[in-house]
Structure 1
């Protein structure tokens, strides 16, 4: 693994771990939605509209239907059959881009079910994020993007991710 990828992976792991630990430290009433449930919170003050369901594009409510349980210091996902069936399938996904590399064209980034409201915050838990590795660069934008690629459902990812799309290519919005 090259040094730059190793730095990115350590950063990603640290970011997700910090978000999960911060959420777990909140009183139960302040956790909306509860840890490990839901695709994230769309701030009503956001200038960006929530994602709209689109035919032929993977649904975030489906992806967020995963349940998790805490075991030692990590979350262990349990995926419903409909989500498990997506593993190794070609899918289209839409979301808000969170770059993991410098530059205006990205080959490695996260898609979030909700827009970020803070430069240093993760907008959703692992059920509201998809790691994307693209074949062709995708121009960074604050608007939602759609990509198509091979989905992996991850039950034991070392970085705490639940989903990854590889060999992704940008898809023109309808």
Structure 2
């Protein structure tokens, strides 16, 4: 496998939606990791942003990250534990770091990550550490963690390789 590394930070880059499956398949389904670590809960000790703290009433990234994967036809197929599967279509709160998908100050569609972005060219986590958010009420962009509440979908076969989506979302505390 040829490494696709970020030309800015040098870490393994997962630049395109669905890239996890393309990169992981030759590794027998294991998600590739950067030399410094990655995935839900990994927080660079060099980051000026403090790591997320677990909060009562807010969905845990540790729980979302408990999904296993299996390589199947050049894709990663998620295998969700029963407690994660039970969250499908439930109203939940999720906290995380915003990855905006457009340049506006208020975001209607963005990714929420378990860890902060350290390079604007890299995705900071694998699919178990990201939630796609479609907001009913726009959420103001922030480099600090945000909390949103909405209906969670646990995704078995997302065309972009995502495992989780939050719809009807709105800012929460």
Shorter-chain TM-score: what band? 0.7 to 0.9
Say yes or no: does 1:170 pair with 2:171.
yes
Tell me, in whole angstroms, the C-alpha distance in 2 between the residues paired with 1:46 and 1:124: 15
SS state of the match for residue 40, structure 2? coil
1:102 aligned residue: 103
1:137 aligned residue: 138
Q: Is the 8 A contact 1:40 1:123 kept in 2?
A: no
SS state of the match for residue 138, structure 2? strand
Q: Is the 8 A contact 1:110 1:132 kept in 2?
A: yes
2:52 aligned residue: 51
Q: Is the 8 A contact 1:40 1:125 kept in 2?
A: no
Task: Report the alpha carbon displacement of residue 15 of structure 1 after superposing the two structures with TM.
Answer: 2.0
Kindly report the root-mean-square deviation, in angstroms, between the aligned alpha carbons of the 2 structures.
Answer: 2.6
The TM-score normalised by the length of structure 2 is 0.82
Tell me, in whole angstroms, the C-alpha distance in 2 between the residues paired with 1:168 and 1:128: 18
Task: Report the alpha carbon displacement of residue 41 of structure 1 after superposing the two structures with TM.
Answer: 2.7
Task: Report the alpha carbon displacement of residue 150 of structure 1 after superposing the two structures with TM.
Answer: 0.3
SS state of the match for residue 117, structure 1? coil
1:31 aligned residue: 33
The TM-score normalised by the length of structure 1 is 0.81
Q: Is the 8 A contact 2:21 2:71 kept in 1?
A: no
SS state of the match for residue 18, structure 2? helix
Q: Which 5+ residue runs of structure 2 have no aligned equivalent?
A: 1-13
Q: Which 5+ residue runs of structure 1 have no aligned equivalent?
A: 1-12
More helix by share: 1
Tell me, in whole angstroms, the C-alpha distance in 2 between the residues paired with 1:93 and 1:163: 11
Tell me, in whole angstroms, the C-alpha distance in 2 between the residues paired with 1:142 and 1:14: 20
